[in-house]
Amino acid sequence: MPKRILQGTVVSDKQDKTVIVSVVRHFKHPLYSKIVKKSKRYAAHDEDNHFKAGDTVRIRECRPISRRKCWEVVTEDA
């Protein structure tokens, strides 16, 4: 099964080896036909504590690392 890759912005880097990434998605509301923006926060594994708040990163689905962490940071987008 292919692993999902999402792009988002790091909103918190206070934990050790973990960053919180906010991923925003746009979709059309089924009734009102208006573009709606929804965001979700993911805890992602950052082994070297390399990424800081405000960085745009890609995260990839991986094996469960802890109770909340099943994503890992892949690369930083420029």
Structure confidence at residue 78 (pLDDT): 57
DSSP alpha helix (H) spans, 1-78 = none
Can you tell me the mean pLDDT for 45-72? Answer: 96
Give me the domain span that covers residue 71: 5-76
The total domain count for the chain is: 1
pLDDT in tens, 40-54: 999 999 999 999 999
Query: Contact 57/45 with Cβ under 8 angstroms?
Result: no
Query: Contact 59/74 with Cβ under 8 angstroms?
Result: yes
pLDDT in tens, 22-39: 999 999 999 999 999 999
How high is the mean pLDDT of the chain? 95
CATH code, domain carrying 64: 2.40.50.140
Structure confidence at residue 60 (pLDDT): 96
The neighbour count for residue 29, using CB atoms within 10 Å, is 9
> 41: closest CA among 4, 75, 11?
11
pTM: 0.89
